[in-house]
Amino acid sequence: MEDADDAESPSDDAAPTTNGHANGITKGTSNGTANGTSNGSVNGTANGVAQRNGATYSYQQTKSLDTVPESEIAAFLEKQEVRIIDPSNSNLRPVIQFSQLPSSTLLSKKPFASFTSPTPIQSASWPFALSGRDVIGIAETGSGKTLAFSVPCVEALASSAKPKSSKNGRTAHARAVIVSPTRELAMQTHAAISSLAQLVGLSAVCLYGGASKDDQRALLRKNSGADIIVATPGRLKDFLSEGAVSLESVMFAVLDEADRMLDKGFEDDIKLILGSCPPREKRQTLMFTATWPNSVRVLAESFMVDPVKVTIGNRTRAGDEDGEGNGTVELQANSRIEQKVEVVDPRGKEQRLLELLREAQKGSAKNDRILVFCLYKKEAVRVEQFLDRRGIRVASIHGDLPQEKRTRALEAFKAGTTSVLVATDVAARGLDIPEVKLVINVTFPLTIEDYVHRIGRTGRAGKLGKAITLFTEHDKSHSGSLVNILRAANQPVPDELLKFGTTVKKKGHDSYGAFFKDVDMSKKGTKITFD
Ligand SMILES: Nc1ncnc2c1ncn2[C@@H]1O[C@H](COP(=O)(O)OP(=O)(O)OP(=O)(O)O)[C@@H](O)[C@H]1O
C-alpha cells in the first residue's frame, strides 16, 4: 500500500472543571479575578490588564459594549451557538460589532473595512485573547479563525515596547510564532498577518520547507529581523538548531490547525518549538481549529495556562448539555455545505469522477472551481493524468511535487486558469481559495476530521458549498463516523452507506496521528497498512 500524503514532514521543513453557565458562558472553578484576568502564574489585575513576558495587555470592555442589554448578548450567544468555558469567570462580553472594540493603534487603521461584523469566533475570542489570556478556539471551517488569532497577535506586539533590535548578530529574535501544518497554509497565514502587521510597522517572515533556506535566512536578517514568524515545524526547527532564529523573546505563540499540530506526527516538533519559547506562564498561547478530538485535549492544555475555550456550533454531546461534562467537542461539518455520498464500486471511481466534473461544469458553470481529493500521491498523479487526457483543465498539488510546482498549481487554480485541482490532504486544511463550488472526494481520507477539513474548502465565509464523496467498501471503517457527520448536518444518509455499519471506533492520541506521513522528497516515507 502506498503512503498517504497529508502534511509537511517534521524533518523537512484540562478542560477546566465547570460549575454552571449563563447564556453560553460557562464559568470555571478556578480562582480568577474579574474582567479578563487569569489566575495561575499570569499576573492579572482588573479590567483585562495582564502582564506576560513584558507585554502589557489592557483590554477594556468599551462603554458601547457595556451598555448593550444583557438580553441582546444572550440572544447573540444563542443564535450563533457560542459556548465559552472560562476558568477565570471573566464575564467578558462578545464583541458583536467592530465599533465595540477598544480603540488601539491597530484597530484605528480599520483593518476590517471590507467586513460588516466580526464572525462569531472573532466576537467571542477577541476579548479574551486581547486580555492576554490563553485561548482554544473551535469553529467551523471558513469562519474567520485566521483573523481571530492574528488581530490579538499583532495587537500584543504593537502595544508592547519593541526591543531596540530584534536581531542579535546572526540570530533573529521573534516575538510571535505561528505554526502551521503545511507550506501553503503557512504562506497564506503569513500573507494575512503581514497585512495587519504592516499597519503598525511590524514585520512577518514565513519559513517553510521546499524553498531556499538562504532566501529565508536573508529575510530574517533584513531590516530589524522578524517580529512574527509563520512557519512549518520542520523548517523552523532547522533554523532554531542553526541559531538563525531564537524564540526566547516570544510573547505570543499560535498553533493553527491545532489538533493536527498536536497529533503524533508533529507532537515532538511542537514540544521542541514551544519548549524554545518562554515558559507557558510568560507567553500567551492560542490554539485554533475546526476539529478538536479528545485525543489531543490533555496535551494541548499542558502547553497553556487556564485556557478559555470558545466553541462555536451546537457541539454538545448528549449528557453534556449543562456544561458539566468532560469538555468533549463534537465533530461538526460546516452546515452550509450540501454533502452527498455515493457508494460506488472502487473500479468505477475515475469514470464517475469524470461524469461528475462534466455535470458540474456544464454551460455557464464551465469555469467553476472544483477541488478533487485523493489520498495517495501516486493516485493524485494518476487521476490528474486521467482527467487531462479527457480534456479537463486540471492541475495537481501533492507532496511529490517540487514546491514551485505546488505553488504554481495553487496560483493557477486561484486565478481560474485551471478550474480543477487534484490534491492530496496537503490541501485539506486551512486553504482559503475563493469560490470553490464543489469538493469531490475520490478516496476517503484517513480520519473523519480530515473529511471535515477537506469539504470545508467550499462553503467559506458564509457562502454555500457542495461536497460529493465516492465511498467504497475499502472505506467501510469510516461509515459510522461519516453517518454521524451527515446526520448532525441534516444531510441525507444513503442506505448503501448504512449497510457498512454505524459503529464509531474510539480514537486515541496514538491512532489520530498514526497515519502521519512524510512528504519530504529527500526522505523515505514510511509504509502504512490499512484494513
Ligand atoms: N469578519 C469577517 N467577515 C467576513 N468575512 C471574513 C471575516 N473574517 C474573515 N473573513 C473571511 O473569511 C474567509 C475564511 O476565513 P479563514 O481562512 O480565517 O477561515 P478559517 O476559520 O481559518 O477556516 P479553516 O478552518 O478552513 O482554516 C477568509 O476569506 C476571510 O477573509
DSSP per residue over 281-316, as a string?
TTSEEEEEES---GGGHHHHHHTSSS-EEEEES--P
pLDDT of residue 25: 53
Q: Is residue 469 part of a domain?
A: yes
CA of 186 to the centre of ligand 1 (A): 15
Beta-strand pair 420-423/369-373 = parallel
In the predicted model, what is the mean pLDDT of residues 485-494?
96
Number of domains into which the chain is organized: 2
Site of grid cell 506521513? 517
CA of 461 to the centre of ligand 1 (A): 6
Among 16-30, 263-277, 319-333, the least confident range: 16-30
CA of 228 to the centre of ligand 1 (A): 20
CA dihedral 1, 183, 448, 456 (to 10 degrees): -130
Q: Is residue 156 part of a domain?
A: yes
pLDDT band for 77, please (50, 70, 90 cuts). very high
Q: Is residue 391 part of a domain?
A: yes
Instruction: Give the position, in ligand 1's atom list, of the atom nearest the Cα of 430.
Output: 27
CATH of the domain at 451: 3.40.50.300
Q: In this structure, which residue's CA is closest to atom 1 in ligand 1?
A: 118
pLDDT of residue 147: 97
Whole-angstrom distance between the N-terminal and C-terminal Cα of the chain?
A: 11
Instruction: Give the position, in ligand 1's atom list, of the atom nearest the Cα of 290.
Output: 25
User: Is a pLDDT exceeding 80 seen at residue 316?
Assistant: no
- Give CA 282 to chain center in angstroms: 24
Beta-strand pair 25-28/82-86 = parallel
Sign of CA dihedral 331, 333, 335, 341: negative
Residue whose CB lies within 8 A of the most ligand 1 atoms, among 145, 196, 439, for a mutation test: 145
Residue whose CB lies within 8 A of the most ligand 1 atoms, among 143, 190, 433, for a mutation test: 143
Mean pLDDT of the chain, nearest integer: 85
User: Is a pLDDT exceeding 50 seen at residue 101?
Assistant: yes
Together in a domain, 305 and 420: no
pLDDT band for 129, please (50, 70, 90 cuts). very high
What would you report as the CA-atom Rg of the chain, rounded to the nearest whole angstrom? 23
Q: Is residue 276 part of a domain?
A: yes
pLDDT of residue 224: 59
Phi, psi of 515 (to 5 degrees): -100, 15
Instruction: Give the position, in ligand 1's atom list, of the atom nearest the Cα of 185.
Output: 27
Together in a domain, 463 and 360: yes
Q: Which ipTM value was assigned to this complex? A: 0.99
Together in a domain, 177 and 263: yes
Together in a domain, 353 and 411: yes
Q: Is residue 504 part of a domain?
A: no
Contact between residue 104 and residue 59 where contact means Cβ atoms under 8 Å apart = no
CA distance 388 to 354: 11
User: Is a pLDDT exceeding 60 seen at residue 45?
Assistant: no
Pinpoint the alpha helices (H) of 295-369.
297-302, 349-360
Q: What angle do CA 61, 67, 73 make, to 5 degrees?
A: 80
Take residue 417 and report the three cell numbers written for it.
486558469
User: Is a pLDDT exceeding 50 seen at residue 312?
Assistant: yes
In the predicted model, what is the mean pLDDT of residues 442-466?
97
Together in a domain, 303 and 435: no
Closest C-alpha to 350, from 380, 386, 388: 386
Among 85-94, 156-165, 247-256, the least confident range: 156-165
Q: Decide: residue 46, CB within 10 A, 0-12 exposed, 13-18 middle, 19+ buried.
A: exposed
Site of grid cell 462555536? 312
Instruction: Give the position, in ligand 1's atom list, of the atom nearest the Cα of 139.
Output: 21
Q: In this structure, which residue's CA is closest to atom 20 in ligand 1?
A: 142
Together in a domain, 241 and 307: yes
Domain that holds residue 490: 337-498
pLDDT of residue 161: 79
Q: Is residue 423 part of a domain?
A: yes
CA distance 119 to 145: 9
User: Is a pLDDT exceeding 80 seen at residue 378?
Assistant: yes
Residue whose CB lies within 8 A of the most ligand 1 atoms, among 122, 147, 153, 453, for a mutation test: 147
Q: What single DSSP character describes residue 234?
A: H
Answering whether pTM is above 0.90, one says no
Together in a domain, 308 and 345: no
Q: Is residue 526 part of a domain?
A: no
pLDDT tens-digit readout, 154-193: 999 999 877 665 555 689 999 999 999 999 999 999 999 9
Instruction: Give the position, in ligand 1's atom list, of the atom nearest the Cα of 122.
Output: 1
Instruction: Give the position, in ligand 1's atom list, of the atom nearest the Cα of 119.
Output: 1
Which domain-ending residue is among 277, 312, 347? 312
Take residue 339 and report the three cell numbers written for it.
454533502
Residue whose CB lies within 8 A of the most ligand 1 atoms, among 146, 312, 329, 332, for a mutation test: 146
Q: Is residue 516 part of a domain?
A: no
CB neighbour burial string for 279-290, b if at least 16 within 10 angstroms, e if fewer: ebebbbbbbbbb
Report the greatest alpha carbon distance in the chain: 66
CA of 234 to the centre of ligand 1 (A): 26
Together in a domain, 343 and 391: yes
Classified as helix, coil or strand, 465 is: strand
Please enumerate in sequence order all residues whose Cβ is within 8 A of that of 186, keeping only pairs 6 or more positions apart, or say none. 178, 180, 206, 207, 208, 230, 231, 232
